[in-house]
Structure 1
Amino acid sequence: MTTALRRLRNYIDGEFRDAADGRTTEVVNPATGEAYATAPLSAAADVDAAMAAAEAAFPAWRDLIPAERQKVLLKIADRFEERAEELIAAESENCGKPLALVRSEEIPPMVDQIRFFAGAARMLEGRASGEYMEGFTSIIRREPVGVCAQVAPWNYPMMMAVWKFAPALAAGNTVVIKPSDTTPASTVLIADIIGSVLDELGHPRGVFNVICGDRETGRLMVEHKVPAMASITGSVRAGMQVAESASKDLKRVHLELGGKAPVVVFEDTDIPKAVEDISVAGYFNAGQDCTAATRVLVHESIHDEFVAALAKAAAETKTGAVDDEDVLYGPLNNANQLKQVKGFIERLPAHAKIEAGGEQVGDKGYFFAPTVISGLKQEDEIVQQEVFGPVITVQSFADEKQAVEWANGVEYALASSVWTKDHARAMRMSKTLDFGCVWINTHIPLVAEMPHGGFKKSGYGKDLSAYGFDDYTRIKHVMTSLDG
Structure 2
Amino acid sequence: MGFAKEHRFLSEIGLGPRNPGCYVNGIWRGSGPVVASLNPADNQVIAEVVEASVEDYEEGMKACSDASQIWMQLPAPKRGDIVRQIGDALRAKLLHLGRLVSLEMGKILPEGIGEVQEIIDMCDFAVGLSRQLNGSIIPSERPNHLMMEVWNPLGIVGVITSFNFPCAVLGWNACIALVCGSCVVWKGAPTTPLITIAMTEIIAGVLENNNLPGAIFTSFCGGADIGQLIARDSRISLVSFTGSSKVGLMVQKTVNERFGKCLLELSGNSAIIVMDDADVQLAVRSVLFAAVGTAGQRCTTCRRLLLHESIYQSVLDQLVGVYKQVKIGDPLEKGTLLGPLHTAASKENFVHGIEVIKSQGGKILVGGSVIKSEGNFVQPTIVEISPDAPVVKEELFGPVLYVMKFQTLKEAIEINNSVPQGLSSSIFTHRPEIIFKWIGPLGSDCGIVNVNIPTNGAEIGGAFGGEKATGGGREAGSDSWKQYMRRSTCTINYGSELPLAQGINFG
Say yes or no: TM over 0.5: yes
Provide the rounded CA distance (Å) in 2 between the counterparts of 1:366 and 1:148: 34
Find the residue that maps to 1:427 and give its secondary structure.
helix
Give the deviation of 1:468 after TM superposition.
1.9
Q: Counterpart of 2:446? A: 435
Give the deviation of 1:325 after TM superposition.
1.1
Give the deviation of 1:158 after TM superposition.
1.4
Give the deviation of 1:130 after TM superposition.
4.5
Give the deviation of 1:384 after TM superposition.
0.8
Find the residue that maps to 2:338 and give its secondary structure.
coil
Give the deviation of 1:337 after TM superposition.
1.4
- Judge which range, 333-342 or 386-395, deviates more: 333-342
Q: Counterpart of 1:244? A: 253
- Judge which range, 226-235 or 380-389, deviates more: 380-389
Given that 1:137 and 1:481 are in contact with CA atoms closer than 8 Å, whether structure 2 keeps it comes out as: yes
C-alpha offsets along residues 360-417 of structure 1, whole Å, 9 cap, x if unaligned? 123111111111111x112223311111111111010111111111110000001100
Provide the rounded CA distance (Å) in 2 between the counterparts of 1:41 and 1:77: 27
Find the residue that maps to 1:328 and give its secondary structure.
coil
Find the residue that maps to 1:425 and give its secondary structure.
helix
Provide the rounded CA distance (Å) in 1 between the counterparts of 2:141 and 2:299: 44
For structure 2, the 5+ residue unaligned runs are: 4-15, 497-507
Find out whether 1:449 has 2:461 as its counterpart: yes
C-alpha offsets along residues 169-219 of structure 1, whole Å, 9 cap, x if unaligned? 111100110011101111211111111101111222111011111111101
Give the deviation of 1:321 after TM superposition.
0.7
Give the deviation of 1:108 after TM superposition.
2.6
Q: Counterpart of 1:97? A: 107
Q: Which amino acid aligns with 2:447?
A: G
C-alpha offsets along residues 325-362 of structure 1, whole Å, 9 cap, x if unaligned? 11113111112211112211011236321111111123
Find out whether 1:77 has 2:90 as its counterpart: no
Provide the rounded CA distance (Å) in 2 between the counterparts of 1:67 and 1:127: 19
Find the residue that maps to 1:471 and give its secondary structure.
helix
Aligned positions of 1:392-431 closer than 5 A: 392-431=401-440
Provide the rounded CA distance (Å) in 2 between the counterparts of 1:18 and 1:473: 31
Find out whether 1:48 has 2:58 as its counterpart: yes
Provide the rounded CA distance (Å) in 1 between the counterparts of 2:106 and 2:474: 28
Given that 1:117 and 1:469 are in contact with CA atoms closer than 8 Å, whether structure 2 keeps it comes out as: no
Partner residue of 1:344 out of 338, 353, 362: 353
Provide the rounded CA distance (Å) in 2 between the counterparts of 1:284 and 1:445: 10
Which has more radius of gyration? Answer: 2
Q: Counterpart of 1:114? A: 123
Find the residue that maps to 1:106 and give its secondary structure.
helix
Given that 1:8 and 1:37 are in contact with CA atoms closer than 8 Å, whether structure 2 keeps it comes out as: no
Aligned positions of 1:243-322 closer than 5 A: 243-322=252-331
Aligned positions of 1:194-213 closer than 5 A: 194-213=203-222
Q: Which amino acid aligns with 1:174?
A: C
RMSD over aligned Cα atoms: 1.7
- Judge which range, 192-201 or 94-103, deviates more: 94-103
C-alpha offsets along residues 237-264 of structure 1, whole Å, 9 cap, x if unaligned? 1110110110121100000001001111
Q: TM-score, normalised by structure 1?
A: 0.96
Provide the rounded CA distance (Å) in 2 between the counterparts of 1:441 and 1:215: 39
C-alpha offsets along residues 266-290 of structure 1, whole Å, 9 cap, x if unaligned? 1111212211111111111011011
Alignment coverage as a number of residue pairs: 480
Find the residue that maps to 2:104 and give its secondary structure.
helix
Q: Counterpart of 2:374? A: 364
For structure 1, the 5+ residue unaligned runs are: none
Provide the rounded CA distance (Å) in 1 between the counterparts of 2:24 and 2:360: 53
Provide the rounded CA distance (Å) in 2 between the counterparts of 1:251 and 1:295: 35
Find out whether 1:180 has 2:189 as its counterpart: yes
Partner residue of 1:470 out of 458, 476, 482: 482
C-alpha offsets along residues 269-313 of structure 1, whole Å, 9 cap, x if unaligned? 121221111111111101101111221011111111111111111
Provide the rounded CA distance (Å) in 2 between the counterparts of 1:151 and 1:106: 17
Aligned positions of 1:151-166 closer than 5 A: 151-166=160-175
Given that 1:8 and 1:185 are in contact with CA atoms closer than 8 Å, whether structure 2 keeps it comes out as: no
Find the residue that maps to 2:277 and give its secondary structure.
coil
Provide the rounded CA distance (Å) in 2 between the counterparts of 1:399 and 1:407: 13
Q: Counterpart of 2:12? A: none
- Judge which range, 462-471 or 406-415, deviates more: 462-471
